[in-house]
Structure 1
Amino acid sequence: PWAQPAGRLALDQYYKLLRAPEEIARLNKEIRSLVTYIHEETAYIRLKADEVQKTDPLLAIQVEKHGWERGCCNDMHLIRLKKLEKMPGFTGTLIPG
């Protein structure tokens, strides 16, 4: 039966459903890791900009600019993750950790 297109499609769908819980668990970990990374990166860039400000204000401006650019992308990711969090069946968390 697997050699025929309909049978192959049915088996493919069956195995995808069988592995779905594992994929959900993996994605929940990935989502939390991404949220944690975004928060830690934001804090790190702010800290480094403040440190550099004392010795090299022009470099501090560039560090802050880099932080703003990263922040724009990170904000888009967080918006999408918050939309995902509202979906029925979402079992992950957006709390860093």
Structure 2
Amino acid sequence: MISLAEFDILRDTRQDIRLLPWTQPACREAMVLHFGIKRAKEEVRRLNVEITRLLTYLIDEHIDYYRAIAANIIVNPPLTTELQRRWRHASHISAAICRRISQTSRLVGFSGTVFPGQREDRDPTLSDGIPPPYWLAMELGVVLMEVKYNEGADLDASRPTEEDDDLDLVVRELEVDEDNIVQLMDHLSTFDDS
């Protein structure tokens, strides 16, 4: 439609379609803008999913490096040294990515989340005892907390009911810097999904 005037074959038809309303430059420009906005809204929804996936991948990579280094620190020191070097490099890249995600989250109309997800095929216990990466709190303001409910604790009012009382339940909570939450809520209030 944009380059309709370039087609000579359309001029020699029974009805000159160049005179129809949809061929006029103003109408064509309005259609291009309409479909561009429509595509942009689809892209925003897609990016909301991809941001969570990216954060999940970065945290999983952090956990994998940590576990690999811990497993080889005594058995294979040269491999451990190389893994540490690569881990530092990956952490710098992850911090830069999180910095960009943080900037993105402050944009007007941002409707996503800065919380990581959990891969379906990944064992959630792999992260037990592993500290969260420094860039998660520093760049995004997200802090992973671990609360353990043990037998005999004074947390019975908030403790989930379980038949097996000697089982320790680990509940993961996410905390976010309050300034980021306020900014996010401001952005969400200005976002129009229609």
TM-score (norm 1): 0.88
Q: 1:79 aligns with which of 89, 95, 99?
A: 99
- State the structure with bigger RCO (CA 8 A, min sep 6), 1 or 2: 1
Q: Distance in 2 between matches of 1:80 and 1:54?
A: 37
Asked which structure has the greater CA Rg, the reply is: 2
1:58 aligns with 2:69: no
**1:13 corresponds to which letter in structure 2?**
L
Q: Distance in 2 between matches of 1:5 and 1:74?
A: 46
Single out whichever of 15-24 and 83-92 deviates more from structure 2.
15-24
| Runs of 5+ unmatched residues, structure 1 | none
Matches within 5 A, 1:33-48: 33-48=53-68
Tell me what 2:32 maps to.
12
Tell me what 2:186 maps to.
none
SS class of match (2:115): coil
Higher strand proportion: 2
Matches within 5 A, 1:86-97: 86-97=106-117
Q: Distance in 2 between matches of 1:19 and 1:37?
A: 26
Single out whichever of 28-37 and 1-10 deviates more from structure 2.
1-10
State, as a whole percentage, how many aligned pairs show the same letter. 30
User: What root-mean-square deviation, in Å, do the aligned CA atoms of Structure 1 and Structure 2 show?
Assistant: 1.6
**1:24 corresponds to which letter in structure 2?**
V
C-alpha distance after superposition, 1:5-42 (max 9, x if no partner): 54433221111112332221101000110011111101
| Runs of 5+ unmatched residues, structure 2 | 1-20, 118-194
Higher helix proportion: 1
C-alpha distance after superposition, 1:53-92 (max 9, x if no partner): 1211111010010011111111100001011111221110
Q: Distance in 2 between matches of 1:4 and 1:57?
A: 71
Matches within 5 A, 1:11-30: 11-30=31-50
